[in-house]
């Protein structure tokens, strides 16, 4: 071994970590074994064996012809990134609840779904119902669309082909195919927020804004959802308030890595 070689870089653990990092970087798109081998500059057969071990451990899972990050890795990540994000966001979310009188949610993208990882609620009535852990299709929700707005057009088109009808889209959903979704995403990228009006559920409206990391990548979303009769006229003002809170969360996240 040369004097500058690192034992860790030649270890099975380091090789497995490189595979996981390559697959995670391609998320939410599945990555084929051959592409992983090329990305990590390793033999394809060795890479395939390593991927199988990672699948057996739950760190990766099969998705179509490729692999994506598995549930065990998400569980581990909850004790790190999501825990840190929630800890920083809670105070801002509490302030938004006080302003809106409505429940505010913190969401992230997992595959093609958006999942709520934390909620702050007013202490009265059904407004305090929690969406913690609840998943929903990203294409029809304001928070899901905000999270998708962080993807490049070609990534989005691979997930939702332009001419293909999205199965299960509700009657009032404005994004029933990839082309309609792309158009909505472009508007979100321009406006900096997303709103929905009964698209996800009759009588329900919502607004969301992205939360970005220090490099500008969309990592999460702030969301408020409420009955249409009570909150429809407040959607844009709410989005503006959440955008201010989002910037403060980003600043706090950045400070933790300085």
Higher pLDDT, 185 or 57: 185
Q: What percent of the chain has pLDDT over 70?
A: 89
* DSSP designation for 132: T
If one compares 108 and 28, the residue with the highest pLDDT of the two is 108
Q: Which residue has the tokens 């497995």?
A: 16
- Domain 73-257 has what CATH class? alpha beta
With DSSP H G I counted as helix, E B as strand and the rest as coil, what are the percentages for the chain, rounded to 5?
A: 50, 20, 30
**Which CATH topology does 8-69 take?**
Arc Repressor Mutant, subunit A (1.10.10)
Residue 249 parent element (H or E):
helix 235-257
Tell me how far apart the alpha carbons of residues 109 and 215 are, in angstroms, rounded to a whole number: 18
pLDDT digit string (tens) for 41-51?
999 999 999 99
Domain boundaries in the chain? 8-69, 73-257
The single-letter DSSP state of residue 177 is: B
- Tell which residue, 181, 71, 77, has the closest CA to residue 135: 71
Q: What is the mean pLDDT of the chain?
A: 89
Task: Report in angstroms the alpha-carbon separations of 216 from 140, 181, 212, 230, 251.
Answer: 24, 22, 5, 33, 11
Mind listing the pLDDT tens digit for each residue in 146-155? 999 999 999 9
Q: pLDDT value at position 255? A: 85
Q: What pLDDT is stored for residue 257 in this prediction?
A: 61
Average pLDDT over residues 5-22: 73
């Amino acid at each position: 071994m040369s004097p500058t070689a690192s034992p860790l870089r030649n270890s099975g653990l380091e090789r497995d970590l490189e595979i996981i990092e390559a697959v995670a970087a391609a998320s939410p798109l599945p990555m084929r074994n051959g592409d992983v081998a090329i990305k990590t500059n390793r033999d394809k057969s060795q890479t395939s064996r390593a991927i199988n071990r990672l699948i057996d451990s739950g760190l990766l899972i099969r998705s179509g012809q490729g692999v994506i990050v598995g549930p065990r890795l998400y569980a581990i990540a909850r004790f790190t990134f999501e825990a840190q994000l929630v800890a920083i966001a809670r105070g801002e979310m509490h302030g938004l609840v006080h302003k809106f009188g409505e429940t505010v949610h913190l969401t992230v993208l997992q595959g093609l779904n958006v999942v709520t990882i934390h909620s702050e609620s007013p202490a009265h009535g059904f407004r305090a119902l929690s969406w913690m852990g609840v998943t929903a299709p990203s294409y029809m929700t304001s928070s899901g669309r905000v999270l998708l707005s962080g993807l490049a057009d070609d990534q989005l088109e691979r997930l939702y082909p332009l001419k293909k009808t999205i199965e299960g889209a509700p009657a009032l959903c404005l994004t029933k195919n990839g082309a309609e979704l792309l158009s909505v995403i472009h508007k979100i990228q321009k406006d900096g927020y997303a709103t929905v009006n009964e698209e996800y559920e009759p009588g329900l409206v919502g607004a969301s804004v992205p939360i970005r990391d220090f490099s500008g990548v969309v990592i999460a979303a702030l969301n408020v959802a409420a009955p249409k009769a009570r909150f429809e006229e407040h959607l844009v003002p709410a989005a503006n308030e959440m955008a201010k809170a989002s910037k403060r969360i980003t600043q706090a996240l950045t400070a933790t890595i300085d």
